[in-house]
């Protein structure tokens, strides 16, 4: 039995559902593994980035936790950022999954952290629509290796020596403790002939394979040519980080 099949079977057992002629849906994956889509993504998105939660939506503060806890310590910040950039990606033990037509519509027809995929036109009239995510890997900050050990030390020092600054900048924010990456993504769109439904996605640094591209059916496979950008994260509230 293939590994992905084993992961899918385990998830089905855990959730008490059967995946018949479909992959697990994004909502099932996100619920089980406590992850959320990033509001945006690029190859320089790092673990430790700080986010805020507003009206059920994530927004980045454009800051990283290391800049807060090591403010003014240029050499320390540089070292920690280098270590964050080198975090190893491991197999996430998450089966390949898909965003269903209903999920895509519910997200406003856009998946910005997945190759900036977006749809236009009367998408609700599509005969078939899905975005399949393949080969998920994960990197994370841990409390048993660098840079996590140093981050814990600096967090503790900030809370002890500058409690006002700590309370203002850490507890209420959300920290990207783990980042998730996709080896590739497949877009499937089936529609009636002449329908105005369209697809947009990033092309820069992306390998695009058009497996089918007709007026009624489009199947594209997208993969990064070089460094991957994360598409999702596990967010931990600052007060609970380590």
One-letter-per-residue 3-state SS of 14-65: HHCCCCCCCCCEHHHHHHHHCCEECCCCCCCCCCCEEEEEECCEEEEEEEEH
- pTM for the model stands at 0.94
pLDDT in tens, 174-194: 999 999 999 999 999 999 998
Average pLDDT, rounded, for the chain? 95
Going by pLDDT thresholds of 50, 70 and 90, the confidence category of residue 84 is very high
Instruction: Provide the residue ranges of all domains of the chain, joining segments of one domain with +.
Output: 25-240
- Residue 201 has phi, psi (to 5 degrees) of -160, 165
Least confident of 48-62, 179-193, 215-229: 48-62
Whether the pLDDT of residue 67 is over 60: the answer is: yes
Average pLDDT over residues 96-105: 97
DSSP-derived letter for residue 238 is G
> What residues are paired with 207 via a beta bridge?
223
From CA 160, how far away is CA 166, in angstroms rounded? Answer: 9
Cα 213 to the center of its chain, rounded Å: 27
Looking at residue 2, its pLDDT comes to 65
**pLDDT band at residue 155 under the 50/70/90 scheme:** very high
Q: Which of 58-62, 97-101, 191-195 has the highest mean pLDDT?
A: 97-101
Q: Which residues in the chain belong to E strands, given as ranges?
A: 36-37, 49-54, 57-64, 90-91, 97-99, 110-111, 117-120, 128-140, 174-190, 198-200, 206-213, 217-224, 232-237
CB 189 within 8 A of CB 199: yes
């Amino acid at each position: 039995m293939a590994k992905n099949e084993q992961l899918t079977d385990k998830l089905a057992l855990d959730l008490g559902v059967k995946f018949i002629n479909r992959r697990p849906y994004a909502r099932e994956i996100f619920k089980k593994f406590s992850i959320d889509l990033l509001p945006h993504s690029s190859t320089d998105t790092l673990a430790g980035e700080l986010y805020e939660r507003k009206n059920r939506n994530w927004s980045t503060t454009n800051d990283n936790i290391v800049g807060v806890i090591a403010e003014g310590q240029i050499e320390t910040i540089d070292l920690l950022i280098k270590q964050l950039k080198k975090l190893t990606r491991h197999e996430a033990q998450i089966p390949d999954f898909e965003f269903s037509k209903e999920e895509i519509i519910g997200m406003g027809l856009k998946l910005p952290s997945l190759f900036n995929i977006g749809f236009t036109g009367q998408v609700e009239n599509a005969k078939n629509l899905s975005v399949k995510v393949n080969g998920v890997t994960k990197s994370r900050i841990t409390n048993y290796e660098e840079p996590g050990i140093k981050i814990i030390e600096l967090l503790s020092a900030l809370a002890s020596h500058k409690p006002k600054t700590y309370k203002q900048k850490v507890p209420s924010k959300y920290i990207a403790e783990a980042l998730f990456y996709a080896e590739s993504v497949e877009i499937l769109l089936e529609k009636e002939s002449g329908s105005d439904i369209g697809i947009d996605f990033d092309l820069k640094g992306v390998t695009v394979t058009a497996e089918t591209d007709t007026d009624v059916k489009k199947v594209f496979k997208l993969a990064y040519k070089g460094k991957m950008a994360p598409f999702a994260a596990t967010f931990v509230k600052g007060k609970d980080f380590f």
